[in-house]
Amino acid sequence: MNIRFNLRDKQAKDKSSIILIVRHFQKTLKLVTGLHITPTLWDAKTNRPRRGQLPQVRERLHQLEAIAEKVLSTAGYLEQSEFTKLMNEATGKIEASKTPYLLAFIRQYCEENERKALRSTGTLLYNLVTGSNAARWGLIDWKKAQGKDIKFEAIDWNFREKFSRYCLANGLNIAYTAATLKRLGQFINESRKRGHHSNTISIETGFQGVKNQAVKQLPVTLTLEELNRLASLELSGQDEKVRDMFLIGVFTGQRYSDYSSIKPNQIKGGGVFFRQQKTSALVEIDMDMFTGLVPQSLDDLLAKYGNQSPTLTRGGNGSVVFNRSIKFLCRRAGITAKIEWITTNGGKVKTEMLEKWQVVSSHTCRRSFATLWAKMGLPLADIASATGHTTEKQLMDYIGLTHEEKRDKRRVAVDAAKAKLKAI
């Protein structure tokens, strides 16, 4: 993004109007500021009046630059008319128009309210409605929403259930899914208060799913034996890349947006460094953590692709290809153990038995990393330092230990403590 001010006519004998010019997504956009200045008083190097001249004009240009930065910070590709409208609304020149569409309102609302949780839910809704897979708010291409956006009046219980299933299928636990439903309700409530629609479904009992937060979905994870079966498959082409990408995800414990984009400059001194895209946390993963536990090592896998992650190219969006393909590769590897899978329906909890491969996704890697090391006795604080979780409570949502495994792990710790006391 580049923002500057120019004069409409630099050779004007009298005053010339000042034009705001921005370069955004390789497109030049302009806005008439309504301000005028004599060219002899203009400093072309600073894009402002000369020092000591017209302080009120200088201050207004500072304000317009700040407003433009805020408007463009969350905007994707814009046509000139869209930019003009957004700036006129932001400066109060025109009243913000009614927004009867869900994604259009979310975009407007999240420009006003910069809470990460709202933008995270907004990104999920954008992906669901448009069929995209934007990793975070800043990567949304709003042009894709044109023609696919849905009206608030069309949001019903079926849409609510579709969104709930989408969240669960993308690795969110039942508590976090309930939280996203609550924020969907917030979008509907706030837009209704502003007069954009009259849909009241968000205040119906059970819509926001808060009562279901006590129901825990056990994270889907792979065992070492299942990982070895997957690693031993004879594969080639895209299937081999998908399998290798999954193993890289398990070996690093990162999110898909991080482990699918490893570059050579991240590999230093026997480790891989990540600046996590979602949280900006800096973490380091030892290359040899899984060496000897699974046939391939992290070092070998990355070296195979030039010390970086494999690139998935066939079939469109990389993560969509990945999530679709890894399920069937897991089925080929015989990862068919029955697991309990919890969903919600009309505010009620539904439990069914599925084969594990059916619910494996890109997030299974991160959950498997945390669970495997927890089972092997690595302290939670050490696991959290690798995954980037700030608290052990957050980390526990990623660890798929059954009640029996938790009991056995506790028993081992108790026995070790007793043995230590006896040795004193």
Q: Are residues 173 and 295 in the same domain?
A: no
Q: Are residues 280 and 362 in the same domain?
A: yes
On whether the CB atoms of residues 283 and 273 are closer than 8 A, the answer is: yes
Q: Are residues 391 and 268 in the same domain?
A: yes
Q: Are residues 199 and 246 in the same domain?
A: no
Enter the tokens of residue 135.
Answer: 């990793």
% residues pLDDT > 70 (the chain): 89
- Residue 416 forms part of a structural domain: no
- Residue 219 forms part of a structural domain: no
Alpha carbon of residue 117 to chain centroid: 10
- Residues 273 and 253: their CA atoms lie apart, in Å, by 12
Q: Are residues 175 and 251 in the same domain?
A: no
- Residue 209 forms part of a structural domain: yes
User: 228 lies in which domain range?
Assistant: 224-411
- Residues 389 and 241: their CA atoms lie apart, in Å, by 28
Q: Chain-wide mean pLDDT for the chain?
A: 86
- Residue 28 forms part of a structural domain: yes
* Counted domains in the chain: 3
C-alpha separations of 91 from 63, 72, 110 in Å = 9, 14, 17
Q: What is the pLDDT of residues 314-351, one digit of tens each?
A: 545 667 789 889 999 999 999 999 887 776 555 455 66
C-alpha separations of 13 from 33, 43, 199, 264 in Å = 20, 16, 58, 57
pLDDT at 210 (0 to 100): 40
Q: What is the pLDDT of residues 255-281, one digit of tens each?
A: 999 999 999 999 998 999 999 988 888
- Residue 424 forms part of a structural domain: no
**111 phi and psi, to 5 degrees?**
-75, -30
Instruction: State the pTM of this model.
Output: 0.51
pLDDT at 161 (0 to 100): 82
Domain boundary among 214, 234, 267: 214
User: What residue type is 159 in one-letter code?
Assistant: F
- Residues 228 and 302: their CA atoms lie apart, in Å, by 18
Pair type for strands 16-24 and 27-37 = antiparallel
- Residues 187 and 118: their CA atoms lie apart, in Å, by 9
Task: Dihedral sign for Cα 265, 319, 228, 366, please.
Answer: positive
Please state which of the ranges 33-42, 172-181, 263-272, 382-391 shows the lowest mean pLDDT.
172-181
Q: Are residues 343 and 234 in the same domain?
A: yes
Q: Could you give the angle at which helices 364-375 and 403-423 cross, rounded to 10 degrees?
A: 30
Q: Are residues 27 and 141 in the same domain?
A: no
Q: Are residues 22 and 63 in the same domain?
A: yes
Enter the tokens of residue 341.
Answer: 């899978």
